[in-house]
Chains A and B, each alone.
Chain A
Amino acid sequence: MQAEALNFVGHASDRGMTGNLSGNAGLRLVFPAGEKQVRRALSTAAGAFAGMGLSDDAKGLAEIVLAEVLNNVVEHAYAAQRPGLIEIDAWLEGAYLWMKIQDDGVPMPDGVVPKRRDQDVTGAVETLPEGGFGWSIIHELSHDLTYERDGLRNTVTFSLDLEELEATP
Protein backbone atom coordinates (compact mmCIF):
# COMPACT_ATOMS: atom_id res chain seq x y z
CA MET A 1 0.00 0.00 0.00
CA GLN A 2 2.87 2.30 0.79
CA ALA A 3 4.27 1.68 -2.65
CA GLU A 4 1.01 2.78 -4.22
CA ALA A 5 1.10 6.02 -2.29
CA LEU A 6 4.52 7.01 -3.56
CA ASN A 7 4.43 9.29 -6.50
CA PHE A 8 6.29 8.64 -9.67
CA VAL A 9 9.38 10.77 -9.74
CA GLY A 10 10.48 11.57 -13.20
CA HIS A 11 9.16 12.70 -16.45
CA ALA A 12 9.70 12.05 -20.04
CA SER A 13 11.84 14.48 -19.92
CA ASP A 14 13.44 17.89 -19.89
CA ARG A 15 12.91 18.55 -23.55
CA GLY A 16 13.93 22.16 -23.31
CA MET A 17 17.24 21.38 -21.65
CA THR A 18 20.50 21.32 -23.52
CA GLY A 19 23.69 19.52 -22.65
CA ASN A 20 22.39 16.01 -23.12
CA LEU A 21 24.95 13.75 -24.81
CA SER A 22 22.91 13.40 -27.97
CA GLY A 23 21.10 16.67 -27.87
CA ASN A 24 17.91 14.62 -27.71
CA ALA A 25 15.63 14.31 -24.76
CA GLY A 26 16.56 11.56 -22.35
CA LEU A 27 14.46 9.69 -19.85
CA ARG A 28 14.87 9.38 -16.12
CA LEU A 29 12.35 7.55 -13.95
CA VAL A 30 12.42 6.57 -10.29
CA PHE A 31 9.59 4.42 -8.99
CA PRO A 32 8.77 1.77 -6.37
CA ALA A 33 9.27 -1.85 -7.46
CA GLY A 34 6.02 -3.62 -8.25
CA GLU A 35 4.26 -5.14 -11.22
CA LYS A 36 1.72 -2.35 -11.57
CA GLN A 37 4.40 0.31 -11.23
CA VAL A 38 6.52 -1.44 -13.86
CA ARG A 39 3.55 -1.36 -16.20
CA ARG A 40 3.18 2.36 -15.66
CA ALA A 41 6.91 3.00 -16.05
CA LEU A 42 6.91 1.10 -19.35
CA SER A 43 4.09 3.24 -20.63
CA THR A 44 6.02 6.38 -19.74
CA ALA A 45 9.21 4.96 -21.26
CA ALA A 46 7.43 4.00 -24.49
CA GLY A 47 6.16 7.57 -24.79
CA ALA A 48 9.67 8.89 -24.25
CA PHE A 49 11.09 6.50 -26.88
CA ALA A 50 8.55 7.82 -29.36
CA GLY A 51 9.60 11.34 -28.40
CA MET A 52 13.20 10.37 -29.16
CA GLY A 53 12.11 9.51 -32.67
CA LEU A 54 11.98 5.70 -32.44
CA SER A 55 9.66 3.98 -34.89
CA ASP A 56 6.80 1.85 -33.59
CA ASP A 57 8.80 -1.31 -34.29
CA ALA A 58 11.93 -0.13 -32.48
CA LYS A 59 9.85 1.28 -29.65
CA GLY A 60 8.02 -2.02 -29.18
CA LEU A 61 11.25 -4.01 -28.96
CA ALA A 62 12.91 -1.44 -26.66
CA GLU A 63 9.88 -1.72 -24.38
CA ILE A 64 10.05 -5.52 -24.23
CA VAL A 65 13.78 -5.53 -23.34
CA LEU A 66 13.22 -2.92 -20.64
CA ALA A 67 10.20 -4.90 -19.37
CA GLU A 68 12.28 -8.05 -18.97
CA VAL A 69 15.03 -6.25 -17.05
CA LEU A 70 12.45 -4.57 -14.77
CA ASN A 71 10.52 -7.81 -14.19
CA ASN A 72 13.76 -9.43 -13.14
CA VAL A 73 14.37 -6.68 -10.59
CA VAL A 74 10.85 -7.03 -9.15
CA GLU A 75 10.84 -10.84 -9.12
CA HIS A 76 14.40 -11.46 -7.95
CA ALA A 77 16.33 -8.43 -6.68
CA TYR A 78 13.39 -7.22 -4.57
CA ALA A 79 11.66 -10.58 -4.11
CA ALA A 80 11.95 -10.46 -0.32
CA GLN A 81 12.24 -6.74 0.38
CA ARG A 82 9.53 -4.71 -1.31
CA PRO A 83 9.04 -1.90 -1.81
CA GLY A 84 12.42 -0.82 -3.06
CA LEU A 85 13.10 1.77 -5.70
CA ILE A 86 14.03 1.25 -9.33
CA GLU A 87 15.77 3.90 -11.40
CA ILE A 88 15.78 4.00 -15.18
CA ASP A 89 17.96 6.21 -17.33
CA ALA A 90 17.67 6.08 -21.11
CA TRP A 91 19.42 8.21 -23.66
CA LEU A 92 20.31 8.26 -27.33
CA GLU A 93 23.86 8.12 -28.62
CA GLY A 94 23.80 8.28 -32.37
CA ALA A 95 21.91 5.25 -33.66
CA TYR A 96 21.96 3.56 -30.25
CA LEU A 97 19.50 3.77 -27.41
CA TRP A 98 21.30 3.23 -24.10
CA MET A 99 19.57 2.20 -20.91
CA LYS A 100 20.72 1.95 -17.31
CA ILE A 101 18.54 0.25 -14.71
CA GLN A 102 19.46 0.45 -11.03
CA ASP A 103 18.09 -1.08 -7.85
CA ASP A 104 19.15 -1.73 -4.26
CA GLY A 105 17.97 -5.32 -4.06
CA VAL A 106 19.93 -8.53 -3.71
CA PRO A 107 22.75 -9.11 -6.20
CA MET A 108 22.47 -11.31 -9.28
CA PRO A 109 23.38 -14.95 -8.61
CA ASP A 110 27.18 -15.36 -8.88
CA GLY A 111 27.45 -11.64 -9.57
CA VAL A 112 26.77 -11.98 -13.27
CA VAL A 113 23.90 -11.54 -15.71
CA PRO A 114 22.18 -14.88 -16.31
CA LYS A 115 23.44 -16.48 -19.50
CA ARG A 116 21.31 -16.94 -22.56
CA ARG A 117 19.59 -20.30 -22.48
CA ASP A 118 18.65 -21.55 -25.88
CA GLN A 119 15.28 -23.08 -25.28
CA ASP A 120 14.49 -26.47 -26.71
CA VAL A 121 11.23 -25.99 -28.55
CA THR A 122 11.39 -29.24 -30.48
CA GLY A 123 10.60 -31.70 -27.72
CA ALA A 124 7.34 -33.09 -26.38
CA VAL A 125 4.68 -30.62 -25.32
CA GLU A 126 5.14 -31.30 -21.64
CA THR A 127 8.86 -30.41 -21.87
CA LEU A 128 8.24 -26.97 -23.39
CA PRO A 129 9.66 -24.14 -21.28
CA GLU A 130 7.24 -21.85 -19.43
CA GLY A 131 9.97 -19.54 -18.21
CA GLY A 132 13.48 -18.38 -18.94
CA PHE A 133 12.34 -16.41 -21.97
CA GLY A 134 13.24 -13.09 -20.38
CA TRP A 135 17.01 -13.30 -20.53
CA SER A 136 16.83 -14.89 -23.99
CA ILE A 137 14.98 -11.81 -25.23
CA ILE A 138 17.41 -9.44 -23.49
CA HIS A 139 20.48 -11.19 -24.91
CA GLU A 140 18.93 -11.47 -28.36
CA LEU A 141 18.19 -7.77 -28.74
CA SER A 142 20.80 -5.95 -26.65
CA HIS A 143 24.48 -5.09 -27.00
CA ASP A 144 27.11 -4.13 -24.44
CA LEU A 145 25.13 -5.81 -21.67
CA THR A 146 26.92 -5.29 -18.35
CA TYR A 147 26.08 -5.81 -14.70
CA GLU A 148 27.80 -4.13 -11.77
CA ARG A 149 27.36 -4.50 -8.05
CA ASP A 150 28.56 -1.45 -6.15
CA GLY A 151 27.86 -1.57 -2.44
CA LEU A 152 24.16 -2.25 -2.18
CA ARG A 153 23.38 -1.15 -5.71
CA ASN A 154 22.78 -3.24 -8.84
CA THR A 155 23.34 -1.58 -12.20
CA VAL A 156 22.45 -3.17 -15.52
CA THR A 157 23.48 -1.26 -18.63
CA PHE A 158 22.95 -2.12 -22.27
CA SER A 159 22.52 -0.56 -25.68
CA LEU A 160 20.06 -1.21 -28.47
CA ASP A 161 21.06 -0.78 -32.10
CA LEU A 162 18.07 1.03 -33.55
CA GLU A 163 18.78 0.01 -37.14
CA GLU A 164 19.03 -3.59 -36.02
CA LEU A 165 15.72 -3.32 -34.17
CA GLU A 166 14.10 -2.01 -37.36
CA ALA A 167 15.36 -5.07 -39.20
CA THR A 168 14.23 -7.59 -36.56
CA PRO A 169 11.50 -9.68 -38.19
Chain B
Amino acid sequence: MELTTLDQQDTRIVTVMETRIDAAVAIQFKDRMRDLVTGAPGRVVLDLSHVKFIDSSGLGAVVASMKQAGSPARFELAGLTRNVAKVFALTRMDRVFTIHPSVAAIWSDVADAG
Protein backbone atom coordinates (compact mmCIF):
# COMPACT_ATOMS: atom_id res chain seq x y z
CA MET B 1 0.00 0.00 0.00
CA GLU B 2 1.77 3.10 -1.24
CA LEU B 3 0.75 6.44 0.20
CA THR B 4 2.58 9.68 -0.54
CA THR B 5 2.30 12.81 1.55
CA LEU B 6 2.82 16.49 0.86
CA ASP B 7 2.56 19.15 3.56
CA GLN B 8 1.56 22.59 2.36
CA GLN B 9 0.87 25.25 4.95
CA ASP B 10 -1.61 23.72 7.41
CA THR B 11 -2.67 20.95 5.04
CA ARG B 12 -1.29 17.45 4.61
CA ILE B 13 -2.24 15.88 1.29
CA VAL B 14 -2.13 12.09 1.39
CA THR B 15 -2.30 10.53 -2.06
CA VAL B 16 -3.24 6.87 -2.37
CA MET B 17 -0.98 5.47 -5.10
CA GLU B 18 -3.10 2.34 -5.54
CA THR B 19 -6.09 1.56 -7.71
CA ARG B 20 -7.98 -0.35 -5.03
CA ILE B 21 -8.76 0.07 -1.35
CA ASP B 22 -10.34 -3.29 -0.60
CA ALA B 23 -10.44 -6.01 2.05
CA ALA B 24 -6.92 -7.14 1.08
CA VAL B 25 -5.36 -3.81 2.12
CA ALA B 26 -7.93 -2.10 4.39
CA ILE B 27 -6.15 -2.87 7.68
CA GLN B 28 -2.78 -1.84 6.30
CA PHE B 29 -4.30 1.36 4.93
CA LYS B 30 -5.92 2.16 8.27
CA ASP B 31 -2.65 1.60 10.15
CA ARG B 32 -0.65 3.78 7.75
CA MET B 33 -3.29 6.50 7.88
CA ARG B 34 -3.23 6.50 11.68
CA ASP B 35 0.43 7.53 11.63
CA LEU B 36 -0.04 10.10 8.88
CA VAL B 37 -3.08 11.68 10.55
CA THR B 38 -1.38 11.82 13.93
CA GLY B 39 1.61 13.75 12.60
CA ALA B 40 -0.38 16.12 10.39
CA PRO B 41 0.01 19.90 10.73
CA GLY B 42 -3.70 20.73 10.54
CA ARG B 43 -6.20 19.22 8.19
CA VAL B 44 -5.59 16.09 6.13
CA VAL B 45 -6.88 15.81 2.57
CA LEU B 46 -7.03 12.25 1.25
CA ASP B 47 -6.45 12.26 -2.51
CA LEU B 48 -8.33 9.30 -4.02
CA SER B 49 -7.82 10.24 -7.67
CA HIS B 50 -5.90 7.02 -8.48
CA VAL B 51 -8.44 4.77 -6.74
CA LYS B 52 -10.86 3.06 -9.09
CA PHE B 53 -12.44 0.69 -6.60
CA ILE B 54 -13.33 0.87 -2.92
CA ASP B 55 -15.34 -1.72 -1.00
CA SER B 56 -17.03 -1.57 2.40
CA SER B 57 -13.80 -2.48 4.22
CA GLY B 58 -11.96 0.35 2.47
CA LEU B 59 -14.79 2.75 3.19
CA GLY B 60 -14.73 1.73 6.86
CA ALA B 61 -10.99 2.42 6.95
CA VAL B 62 -11.51 5.91 5.48
CA VAL B 63 -14.17 6.63 8.12
CA ALA B 64 -11.84 5.34 10.84
CA SER B 65 -9.12 7.71 9.58
CA MET B 66 -11.49 10.65 9.77
CA LYS B 67 -12.42 9.69 13.34
CA GLN B 68 -8.72 9.57 14.13
CA ALA B 69 -8.41 13.13 12.83
CA GLY B 70 -11.22 14.11 15.18
CA SER B 71 -13.69 15.86 12.89
CA PRO B 72 -14.77 16.14 9.23
CA ALA B 73 -13.19 19.61 9.20
CA ARG B 74 -9.78 18.06 9.81
CA PHE B 75 -10.16 15.22 7.30
CA GLU B 76 -11.39 15.91 3.79
CA LEU B 77 -11.43 14.00 0.52
CA ALA B 78 -10.41 14.93 -3.01
CA GLY B 79 -10.50 13.44 -6.48
CA LEU B 80 -13.14 10.74 -6.13
CA THR B 81 -13.41 8.74 -9.35
CA ARG B 82 -16.84 7.84 -10.68
CA ASN B 83 -17.10 4.39 -9.11
CA VAL B 84 -15.71 5.51 -5.78
CA ALA B 85 -18.13 8.45 -5.63
CA LYS B 86 -21.03 6.04 -6.20
CA VAL B 87 -20.01 3.94 -3.19
CA PHE B 88 -19.87 7.05 -1.01
CA ALA B 89 -23.32 8.09 -2.27
CA LEU B 90 -24.84 4.60 -1.81
CA THR B 91 -23.75 4.52 1.82
CA ARG B 92 -24.58 8.21 2.40
CA MET B 93 -20.98 8.85 3.43
CA ASP B 94 -20.94 11.65 0.84
CA ARG B 95 -22.97 13.62 3.39
CA VAL B 96 -20.36 13.17 6.08
CA PHE B 97 -17.22 14.24 4.21
CA THR B 98 -16.19 17.46 2.52
CA ILE B 99 -15.33 16.25 -0.97
CA HIS B 100 -13.19 18.38 -3.30
CA PRO B 101 -13.24 17.62 -7.04
CA SER B 102 -9.43 17.47 -7.10
CA VAL B 103 -6.36 18.33 -5.06
CA ALA B 104 -5.95 21.48 -7.15
CA ALA B 105 -9.46 22.52 -6.12
CA ILE B 106 -8.54 22.44 -2.42
CA TRP B 107 -6.93 25.84 -2.62
CA SER B 108 -9.59 27.48 -4.77
CA ASP B 109 -12.30 26.01 -2.52
CA VAL B 110 -10.65 27.69 0.44
CA ALA B 111 -10.52 30.98 -1.46
CA ASP B 112 -14.19 30.64 -2.38
CA ALA B 113 -15.13 29.91 1.20
CA GLY B 114 -13.37 33.08 2.31
Residue B67 at the A interface, CB < 8 A? yes
Question: CA A64 – CA B52 in complex, angstroms?
Answer: 11
- A35 near B22 with CB under 8 A, answer yes
Main secondary structure, interface of B, reads helix
Min distance, Cβ B29 to any Cβ of chain A, angstroms: 13
Q: Chain B residues with Cβ under 8 A from A164's Cβ?
A: none
- B66 near A121 with CB under 8 A, answer no
- A137 near B23 with CB under 8 A, answer no
Q: Chain A residues with Cβ under 8 A from B95's Cβ?
A: 121
- B86 near A71 with CB under 8 A, answer no
- The B36-87 residues at the A interface (CB cut-off 8 A) are 53, 55-57, 59-61, 63-64, 66-67, 70-72, 82-83, 86-87
- A128 near B20 with CB under 8 A, answer no
Given the interface pairs A60-B86, A63-B53, the reply to whether A71 lies near B23 with Cβ below 8 Å is yes
Place the interface of chain B in its size category.
Answer: 20 to 34
Question: CA A134 – CA B96 in complex, angstroms?
Answer: 18
Q: Chain A residues with Cβ under 8 A from B105's Cβ?
A: none
Question: CA A36 – CA B93 in complex, angstroms?
Answer: 26
Question: CA A132 – CA B20 in complex, angstroms?
Answer: 19
- A131 near B56 with CB under 8 A, answer yes
Candidates B23, B61, B86, B89; contact of A35 at CB < 8 Å = B23
Q: Chain B residues with Cβ under 8 A from A74's Cβ?
A: 23
Q: Chain B residues with Cβ under 8 A from A128's Cβ?
A: 63, 66-67, 96
Q: Chain A residues with Cβ under 8 A from B53's Cβ?
A: 42, 60, 63-64, 67
A–B complex contacts, Cβ < 8 Å, 14 sampled? A42-B53, A64-B83, A67-B55, A75-B23, A125-B67, A125-B70, A125-B71, A126-B67, A130-B60, A130-B63, A133-B56, A134-B55, A137-B87, A168-B90
- By a beta-carbon cutoff of 8 Å, the part of chain B in contact with chain A is 20, 22-24, 53, 55-57, 59-61, 63-64, 66-67, 70-72, 82-83, 86-87, 89-93, 95-96
